[in-house]
Structure 1
């Protein structure tokens, strides 16, 4: 028998699966027709639409899809990095406040193109007191972050060269170290908790994995691997998986649940709404039932007798998996052997419920799924108290939702509804006040008589909600006037327009979640935010509505969390005590200092990297005719300056080539200079200065460079490299090209590392 599959990964998975059943397997890419039996199982990497029998050889060919079902292939998309989520310059505009690590809070004034000795480059222009400009070179943009402080207090600009900024940083660092000691104690307590480790994936798990009807995206696979790795450790898992609606978080939870149940434990999914419970129940049942796993649900949609039956099953162990609302947290819910708790959108639960979830964390593995992490979750993840995985690859053919802002008016509402109905779609009309919801539904029905309007809100009886949703899902109702009961989990691919009344009254993360109810298919989706005139709105509401419009691209959920910090302020991140520090240095630098303090207290060696100054005889910038949009060009500069290694730099260059075409010479030069900076920072180089036929490399004071290696370098390169005073090497070049200088510098530093 020969099994034909399309990728190396699928072939490796099949080989492992067959081998675990004790079968002989050979992986190859073709059959010549000269072979003779007896045949092992051949796993071939090739293309085949359907299986057939090769009678002369007595060999049956079958495809991977004929065994596991057809997979939907998702095109690879560039993965964003987690670390600079707050530091992105994509939304930075002239007049915004920024923080330079060395000089403090300044005002961003734009990019300035400067010609120095015949060579052109761009600089970031910042204004400081007393009206002094600082020009930041492109290779040093990693020292600059957008300022996000606390609500209602604009920062004061620092004076360039004054000692105040250094004193501020020292005070903040001292207090952060004190607070970090508490966090380290929490971390240590977490590490001290133990439970029996789960077993590694086996053949049954591989079968379950292969039944997934899509091809895993790279970051989704990484999240799955992270979770399985956590489960195989002796300490309980506490991981947050962040990804936009429909990006594959549920499958990550399914893999973890299957592993838990396979190892003889029970698993539970805790969700904030009955509608989401219903949807998860259907999804989990469909995937787990073929493997004889009993899935039940606890929510208002279940009768009393059904709930009692489920409770008995959980206590006796005959129920393997349960999906439920906060009903799961009540005292009468007793598990025989709970091993995994999946929490969907933790921030939707109240204080009492969160306290109960905390109790679970001491005993079982907890996996939290979220589209927009709340500031505290974000902070705990960055500080290393909770582990974090990000899924940022959009589903196949998903389009960004078009967001528009309008005043409440008959024409706007009627046109939006009719546009959707004319293409056979459905509409959500969100009105978040139960008292007036029936009047609003009558208004919509009279405005659009062609529509079939229904109402849904949390004060309806369970069977009434179920009946309305069933009609809407079936398509017998095409406009649903609803409260935010639809905020989580309703997956209706034909609903592709949402109208949100009084959008100014919603939080940014809430708006993002509600907006995510549409755009679940290939159809273009629309979100219309209805709000009063600008002059009536508060400054915070204006910022929020502007942000939801600007952050409408795919995968913006993680950045919404950062933007939410900016609009609400970060004062409540860890209590009032820290708000003054965040106001002083901004959330990004504060987080960076927190990470450094945590590492220091854990005994990790921190070798400070110098901000290497590089002067090369070459024009280095991204031309305007290559990336026209100034904000995208600025974001690209920030990414280039923040890369940590050569592989990341190559990936970024490939990404720009894919988006904008071949790199023009000045842009290629910029990448070459950044390549020099990566190795120079590792070697603790303070400055690199190129003249016509020479490069000088000056090391930072206290750089840990072996004198023996320096002497060996000088001996090998007699006449080409000289050691001169003040920790400096002089390299003589054959010509004055950037490539020659770059190769010479990198070769020299490589020999010293």
Structure 2
């Protein structure tokens, strides 16, 4: 008798998370300057006309049809009206707040002069970026084997359903690892969005191929927690996990280092102690860096010796702007995890002066529902006085202290007690800002918040809200404290970006606050002020592509002139911000399926689609077709349809000529790039449907 074993994947295909309503098909754009966050008076960039000021979303009748337009005010009272469905050609201005640019004049020279100056300056940066990129491309690394049954089995031990972004990030990491080029990938995901699982899978893959893994973390407490997580998941497979930190005695450290050298340890998790010269490996294949933004310049210099030799995977929740700059320009690969885990709720954030009544109420409310509280006071000199005040305020609570200047064993013991729920309120320094996962702690109170940076506050707030419970963050500034303008802006930013997955947007906002005009050591703030950060980065990418010899064909947004009402009317969606957001999302769709999913979402939220909304979705589909065909403009007149082709149109000229010759009564060129399609009676029927049908016929016959 023969026995055949067939796996579940062979019958049903690989495991995929079910699509989640409202998230599926979301455009994977970097949304840090999203037009949907526009407010009247904000600066806005039009690539051709320059910097203006947003004047609102207006309804206007043009050519006999009512449409929505974005008003942009320029210098000398010039006004520009952009059809709302073409919102994609605009960018929100991101640049240093202390040097706001002047508004441009429509038709003036200043905008083109500023762009040309920026382009000249960018060339030198682009050359350095290309040299870095070439160095990385030509280095040969170790190509890991493709995932096998063992890997699939390990995958199945994950106790949750992967989010779509998690699946994509894992696939990208495994693809990098199985290629010969050394991986240098940044995983950017909000706190608690599943970056650790990506690291676990990469580590397992590396160990299965006989390689060692080093995981570098910024704090001893986080190292302990990762050690527990990795040990639990890897233990059943006989994988040996080690921990190296200042919690270990000198003798223990010596034993761990010897085991690393001999290959007895497969995965080592440690703080910056891992970067010291006495650390060596038997066969290191993967370096994982958690909370990369927390490491200093010297530590990053030490990391460079690894980058040349092994695969590097960096994890970050709030990437520092320079990290973003390099990721955006292709020097490092970037994976973004934006979709929150199922049932995850955003953290309700309150900003207030220091208020004992508020503190007492907040602690009572959390303890009454069986939870725990973080109380952050980042001054070791006064932390004991603050703790005594708290004990008088909430005498029934079990309160303890944790900070970085405590003896290692005492700190470890306190953190373990908090994990075991033997402590109700942990009064602590910012030592808890990295990666701690305590699902029962769902209230955090942060004092003297004016002294902390945006990334720090964001990381601290991320310590709560990691379960299905509603979480609360109280950001308290000192009574009577004079906040700097930067501190005020940071707190405003945190209030604006309190939704799930806002880490990337906050990083860009922090860049705006700090001015951040430095790429690879070149001071560029003047050019960023002149043209805005988003356009500046785009010009860097363009220059890099040209130096690499890659074609840079920017497909222009087609201009469509149809006598068909196509808009989101106020009677259907009353909230202007929602309408603006939907226009923005429609401008970023890349395929028909996304349009259909958005239609389904809008119908579900607001009811049956009025005719002008149906037409708007049709118009978006038509625009996709025109972009694909390299058509820059479509006009409808009494005698039919006019199409204007770009020089880079992918349509085959010989097939186009043949079609026109065979159907001379229907098609003819009125100029070398402008085609006329006769369509008698078009105005009396379904104009949009007829136009789309004609375009589809041309595409099918000329591809």
Shorter-normalised TM range: over 0.9
Matched, 1:464 2:407: no
Give CA deviations for 1:494-544 in whole Å, capped at 9, x if unaligned. 111111112222222221111000001110000111125899333322221
Q: Does 1:527 align with 2:527?
A: no
Cα separation, 1, equivalents of 2:431 and 2:25: 32
State yes or no: 1:584 paired with 2:530. Answer: yes
Residue 617 (structure 1) aligns with: 563
2:692 is matched with: 742
Deviations for 1:69-124, whole angstroms, at most 9, x for unmatched residues?
xx998956336444342331232111111111001111111111111233211111
Taking the aligned partners of 1:79 and 1:510, their CA distance within structure 2 comes to 32
CA contact (8 A) 1:125 1:134 kept: yes
Question: How many Å separate the matches in 2 of 1:625 and 1:471?
Answer: 57
Match of 1:61 in 2: none
> Could you say which residue in structure 2 is the equivalent of 1:713?
659
- Give the counterpart of 2:112 among 163, 166, 176: 166
Indicate how the Cα distance of structure 1 residues 289 and 662 shifts in structure 2: closer, same or farther if over 3 A, else same: farther
In structure 2, what is the equivalent of residue 24 of structure 1?
A: 4
Instruction: Provide the aligned length of Structure 1 versus Structure 2.
Output: 698
The SS at the match of 1:186 is helix
Match of residue 95 from structure 1: 41
- How far apart, CA to CA, are the structure 2 residues paired with 1:228 and 1:488? 26
| Alpha-carbon distance in 1 for matches of 2:640, 2:26 | 38
**Does the CA contact (< 8 Å) of 2:17 and 2:162 recur in 1?**
no
Q: Distance in 1 between matches of 2:455 and 2:572?
A: 34
Note the alpha carbon deviations across 1:236-274, whole angstroms, 9 max, x for none. 111111111222111111111111111111101100011
Residues 1:697 and 2:643 aligned together: yes
Match of 1:336 among 272, 282, 287: 282
Query: Of 152, 173, 178, which aligns to 1:206?
Result: 152
Q: 1:258 aligns with which of 201, 204, 207?
A: 204
Q: Which residue of 2 aligns with 1:145?
A: 91
Taking the aligned partners of 2:605 and 2:201, their CA distance within structure 1 comes to 34
State TM-score, norm by structure 2. Answer: 0.94
Question: Does 2:312 correspond to 1:366?
Answer: yes
Larger relative contact order (CA 8 Å, sep ≥ 6) = 2
Q: d(CA) in 1 for partners of 2:10 and 2:592?
A: 36
Question: How far is the alpha carbon of 1:637 from its aligned partner?
Answer: 1.1
When the two structures are superposed, what TM-score results if normalisation uses the length of structure 1? 0.88
1:562 aligns with 2:508: yes
Task: Tell me, yes or no, if the aligned pair for 2:362 and 2:443 is still in contact at 8 Å.
Answer: yes
Q: CA deviation at 1:345?
A: 0.9
Which residue in 1 is equivalent to 2:425? 479
In 1: Cα distance, 2:701 partner to 2:143 partner = 44
1:283 is matched with which residue?
229
Secondary structure of the structure 2 residue equivalent to 1:121: strand
Cα distance in 1 between the residues matched to 2:281 and 2:190: 31
Task: Find the aligned partners of 1:149 and 1:264 in 2 and give their Cα distance.
Answer: 48
Is 1:355 aligned to 2:335, yes or no? no
CA distance in 2, matches of 1:368, 1:226: 13
Q: Larger deviation: 180-189 or 597-606?
A: 597-606
Q: Distance in 1 between matches of 2:152 and 2:73?
A: 58
**CA deviation after TM superposition for structure 1 residue 424, in Å:** 1.1
Closer, same or farther in 2 for the Cα pair 1:72/1:273, shift >3 Å? farther
Structure 1 residues 673 and 457, CA gap change in structure 2 (3 angstroms) = same
The CA deviation string for residues 115-170 of structure 1, in whole angstroms up to 9 with x for no partner, is 12332111111110111111011233222101111241111111110122112212
1:205/1:727 CA distance change after superposition, 3 Å: closer
Query: Could you say if the C-alpha distance between residues 595 and 644 of structure 1 is closer, same or farther in structure 2, counting changes exceeding 3 Å?
Result: farther
Counterpart in 1 of 2:134? Answer: 188
Alpha-carbon distance change, 180 to 150 in structure 1, aligned in 2, over 3 angstroms: same
Asked if the contact 2:125/2:520 (under 8 Å) is kept, the reply is: no
Query: Mean alpha-carbon deviation: is it higher for 256-265 or for 662-671?
Result: 662-671
Looking at structure 2, the residues matched to 638 and 502 of structure 1 have their Cα atoms a distance apart, in angstroms, of 38
Task: Note the residue ranges of structure 1 that are not aligned, 5 or more in a row.
Answer: 2-21, 28-40, 47-63, 66-70
SS at match of 1:83: coil
- The reply on whether 1:301 has 2:251 as its aligned counterpart is no
State the Cα distance separating 1:741 from its structure 2 match: 2.1
The 1-side partners of 2:674 and 2:568 are apart by 31
TM superposition shift of 1:704:
6.9
> Do the aligned partners of 2:206 and 2:213 also contact (CA within 8 Å) in 1?
yes
Shift of 1:644: 3.3
* Match in the other structure for 1:673: 619
* Cα deviation code 1:376-402 (max 9, x no counterpart): 111111111101111122112111111
SS at match of 2:582: helix
Q: Matches of 2:648 and 2:471 in 1, distance apart? A: 58
Is the 2:76–2:105 Cα contact (8 Å) retained in structure 1? yes
Q: 1:23 to 1:260 in 2, by over 3 A?
A: farther
CA, structure 1 residues 507+660, in 2 after alignment: closer, same or farther (shift >3 Å)?
farther
**Matches of 1:594 and 1:653 in 2, distance apart?**
36
Do the aligned partners of residues 575 and 660 (structure 1) sit closer, same or farther apart at CA in structure 2, a change above 3 Å counting?
Answer: farther
Q: Give the C-alpha shift of residue 706 in structure 1.
A: 4.8
Q: Does the CA contact (< 8 Å) of 1:343 and 1:369 recur in 2? A: yes
Equivalent position SS for 1:389: strand
Determine the structure 1 residue equivalent to 2:329: 383
- Paired residues of 1:86 and 1:146 also in contact (CA < 8 A): no
1:636-675 to structure 2, matched below 5 A, reads: 636-675=582-621
Report whether the alignment pairs 1:684 with 2:664: no
- Relative to structure 1, the CA distance from residue 332 to residue 277 in structure 2 (aligned partners, 3 Å threshold; closer, same or farther) is same
Distance in 2 between residues matched to 1:397 and 1:517, nearest whole Å: 17
